[in-house]
Amino acid sequence: MANIVVMGVAGCGKSSLARAIATQLDWPFIEGDAHHSPANIAKMRGGAPLTDADRSGWLARLGALLAAAPGGAVLACSALKKSYREQLRAASPGLRFVFIDIGRDLALQRVAERGDRHLFPVSLVDSQFATLESPLGEPGVLRVPGDRPPGPQLQLVLAWLHGGQQQ
């Protein structure tokens, strides 16, 4: 089975769902945010959105981590643009994406609720939606509704992984 990226905008629940999938599959979990450079972290904490150039090295690091996990790994990564997903796919052939599709209001609420526990401020949520290029229609992508509880989200993903269906 190919590696998996759980993707979407800030506040959609990427890390929680990715961790749950990794636990179910007994695969390593990779927290994408843990691999940002100190400069990227400072930029986000300061309320500035990352550019493609800022993300380039980060995506290369994440691609290398996926490539180093031929037995399977689950990565939590925003992967907002098709070009970012293509960079990750190049590093990990057959890569699958679980797209947590969430509305702006719910994303804003969730990011606000986590406060200072996360590096991403609520002021950047709109920039995430502006950058997002939907992965729907790309190969190996499952859409998971962001307003569903974690348990049903996980069951949807596991059924997809074991059934091989695409949405």
Q: How confident is the model at residue 68 (pLDDT cuts 50, 70, 90)?
A: very high
> For position 57, what pLDDT does the model report?
94
Helix (H, G, I), strand (E, B) or coil at 29: strand
From the CB of residue 167, how many other CB atoms can be counted at a distance below 10 Å? 11
> For position 116, what pLDDT does the model report?
66
Please compute, for residue 89, the number of CA atoms within 13 A of its CA located in the half-sphere on the CB side.
Answer: 15
85 domain residue, yes or no: yes
154 domain residue, yes or no: yes
167 domain residue, yes or no: no
Q: 1-47 pLDDT, tens per residue?
A: 689 999 999 999 999 999 999 999 999 999 999 999 999 988 888 88
75 domain residue, yes or no: yes
Specify the number of domains making up the chain.
Answer: 1
Output the domain CATH number for residue 39: 3.40.50.300
The DSSP symbol for 6 reads E
Domain holding 55, by residue range, is 4-162
